[in-house]
Amino acid sequence: MNTYLRDILKLSWPIIIGQIGIVLTGFFDSLMVGYLGHEELAAAGISNSIYFLVAVFPLGVTISYSTIISMLQGKNKTSSYSLVARDCFIMTLALSALASAVIFGIIYNFGIFKQTDIVEQLSIPYLKLLLWSLTPMLFFLFSKQLCDGFGYTKGGMVITLIALLINIFFNWLLIYGHWGFNAYGLNGAGYATIISRIFLAVAMTYLLFKSTHTPIRYPDFISSFKGHSKIYFYKQIIRLGFPSGLQYFFEVAAFAAAAIMAGWIGAKELAAHNLAITLASLTYMIASGISAGSSICTAKAYGNGNRHNMRQYGIMGHKLGIGVMLFFAFLFFIFNHQLASLFTQEPEVILMGSQLLILAAIFQLGDGLQALSVGLLRGINDVNIPSLLIFIAYWIIAMPIGYALSNSANTYSFFQGVNGIWIGLSIGLTLSAIVLTSRFYYLLRNS
């Protein structure tokens, strides 16, 4: 097996399975909530879209932690690990407090999203529950990204899969009211999310400090707060993490805006959008996992100045990502009706959802290439210009096109309504993939 492919796969496959586990949490939430009715499915969709709209910036910042660790490894600066962990911890705490305050404000001003009355009534208490799960989710990611940076990706995979089983079990228990528990409906999924994310945070933090695969020990981590070291990593976290956070924010904000626009059209359109985006998110996480593994490998090569290895990891990551996403494009195109039918029995929602999955099949290649290129560019410390390019692709091009098509009165009905929104997203994803991939190879040729 090619050495570069082996290195990427060794790091990527546990990340992929772990990220699939995270997305499957949302998948099973939507699947189990969908049987309550299309209003509950719509409320789950809009609430999660708003939640991740706020949470995605701190989430994107935490992803930079693994890149910083990998660069330090490439430079052989092993004495700085506890100090990096300290500064990452403080940054995560600050971002958690800020994001929680924003979500709290949104809850009490939910009317600005102009959803139907019943969707709004269902969404507000559910979003309150999601708020309580934010801090444990971010501290899980803090610990996981540090472990990933050291090349220890299997631990996060195992913990995520266990958390998935916990979430499914408590969904079954609390949504439907089994074993004598009250049937909380949609809110039951919120309680299950809180329980599973607390487990994630506690288990992953324990693993970070106790595993022999990571060099950070708890006493050293605590001592880093008491010492008077002049070495700080806040600037590096901000320089690398904040643009990375903005990249994720611009993309997730576009999909959140798409969910809001779908809700303006109607609850059934929002439900169809939710089931399609749930499936598309599942395939995206596979590309994202390959991106994370490729980014870690590229960052190590960048740290020791090996430009040849940077290029080879990029080529191999792109090849792997293209192959995987073409496979999923085929599945979405052929089995669109069957996949939509997993979430609901309402014929109108199934029809709209199956059409959206055809559009999802079209943008799979662009989605995968963009995810790979963003990670590779982060690995070579290039984050500012990519953030601007992603903003232009989504907010200057994709969203205006999607809004115009969704409200158009042309004779081709397939291009109207919620389909029009997704056509705009497809155009944005494709353009973003082209410019970001071109930029990665341009920088390596001219550096």
Residue-averaged pLDDT of the chain: 85
**Which of 72-81, 86-95, 292-301, 411-420 shows the highest mean pLDDT?**
86-95
- Please report, rounded to a whole number, the percentage of residues in the chain having pLDDT higher than 70: 95
Span 179-235, pLDDT tens digits: 888 888 888 888 999 999 999 999 999 999 988 888 888 888 888 787 666 667 778
Q: Which two tokens stand for residue 426?
A: 């497809």
pLDDT of residue 413: 62
Average pLDDT over residues 118-137: 89
199-203 contacts: CB < 8 A, separation 24 or more?
Answer: 199/159, 199/162, 199/163, 199/166, 200/136, 200/137, 200/140, 200/159, 200/160, 200/163, 201/135, 201/136, 201/137, 201/139, 201/140, 201/143, 202/136, 203/159, 203/162, 203/163
Q: pTM above 0.85?
A: no
Span 425-442, pLDDT tens digits: 889 889 999 999 999 999
pLDDT of residue 409: 61
Cα dihedral 86, 92, 97, 98 in deg (nearest 10): 120
Quick check: 374 pLDDT over 70? yes
Quick check: 95 pLDDT over 90? yes
In 3-state terms, what secondary structure has residue 434?
Answer: helix
Quick one: which H or E segment has residue 183?
A: none
What pLDDT band is residue 85 in, cutting at 50, 70 and 90? Answer: confident
- Distance (Å, whole) CA 243 – CA 248: 9
Residue 235 makes CB contacts below 8 A (sequence gap 6+) with none
Quick check: 352 pLDDT over 90? no
- Please report, rounded to a whole number, the percentage of residues in the chain having pLDDT higher than 90: 20
- Rounded to 5°, angle at Cα 334 from 329 and 339: 90
Quick check: 390 pLDDT over 70? yes
pLDDT of residue 412: 53
Query: What is residue 304's DSSP assignment?
Result: T
What pLDDT band is residue 136 in, cutting at 50, 70 and 90? Answer: very high
Provide the sign of the torsion angle of the four alpha carbons 223, 226, 232, 237, taken in this order. Answer: positive
pLDDT of residue 411: 46
- Distance (Å, whole) CA 411 – CA 434: 31
- Report the 10 Å Cβ neighbour count for 91: 22
Angle, to 10 degrees, between the axis of helix 417-446 and the axis of helix 307-334? Answer: 160
419-424 contacts: CB < 8 A, separation 24 or more?
Answer: 419/352, 419/355, 419/356, 419/359, 421/258, 421/261, 421/262, 421/273, 422/258, 422/273, 422/276, 422/356, 422/359, 422/360, 423/359, 424/397, 424/398, 424/399, 424/400
Contact 262, 269 (CB under 8 A): yes
Cα dihedral 141, 147, 148, 152 in deg (nearest 10): -140
Span 2-40, pLDDT tens digits: 788 888 888 888 878 877 777 777 777 777 877 787 788
Span 281-309, pLDDT tens digits: 888 888 888 888 888 888 888 878 888 88
